[in-house]
Amino acid sequence: MFGNMTYFTNSPEIAEKATLVDGEGAVWNGSLHASLYYAGRYVYGDFNRDGRKDAAVIIGESQGGSDDEVELAFLIYDGTRLVHRQSVYLGDSAIINALKQRSGKVIVDMRIHQQGDCQAGPTKRVRNVYDYLNPTADIRGDHHISVKDGVEEILNLQPKGGKTKPYQVRQGRKVIVRYRLGGEEHA
């Protein structure tokens, strides 16, 4: 299904959209081209919070260079079908380990390039959370995203002057108490 859809490209100077057939598609504008492919990874969820099942899929795009740009494409149900509405850039040559949905957000466990990496492959493992309703949120940098299987909440900790903000400590404590994550009590 996801390999036979129309997606936006990252190359509007070449073409705004490309239609995939059997997982692949290319669009040309003179000698320039953009090739897209469906990477076989997807997750369902209610990403626009309207009560209907949407999808998020991994799409790769190449413009003829040595790297593929990897993106998370949000497909939103319009009442009749899933339609590509928005994408989030994940990185060049990003390697996706896992894709999960929790609370209407997508959690991507992946390897990305870090400073000093050669082009042979990305080495930095990260777990980022992406939200269709808040696409401009930058979760990289000094943000620390904490997710745990069996725990509904996603904790986003960001230091203020080298320390965690007080309200984030309270949120973290509530999660620890609610899910009994503190380990054994000592008498």
Contact between 18 and 6 (Cβ < 8 Å): yes
Residue 1 within a domain:
no
Instruction: Give the chain's largest Cα–Cα span.
Output: 75
Dihedral of CA 36/83/1/91: which sign?
positive
Question: For 14-52, what is each residue's pLDDT tens digit?
Answer: 777 888 899 888 888 887 888 888 989 999 999 999 999
Distance, in Å, from the CA atom of 39 to the CA atom of 23, rounded to the nearest integer, reads 8
147 and 96 in a common domain: no
β partners of residue 60: 37, 70
81 and 161 in a common domain: no
39 and 14 in a common domain: yes
107 and 15 in a common domain: yes
84 and 26 in a common domain: yes
- The CA-based angle 29-34-35, given to 5 degrees, is 135
Question: For 66-76, what is each residue's pLDDT tens digit?
Answer: 667 888 999 99
69 and 134 in a common domain: yes
85 and 164 in a common domain: no
119 and 63 in a common domain: yes
Number of domains in the chain: 2
157 and 136 in a common domain: no
**58: domain range?**
6-140
Question: For 97-153, what is each residue's pLDDT tens digit?
Answer: 999 998 899 988 888 776 666 666 667 777 888 888 876 544 444 445 565 656 666
113 and 36 in a common domain: yes
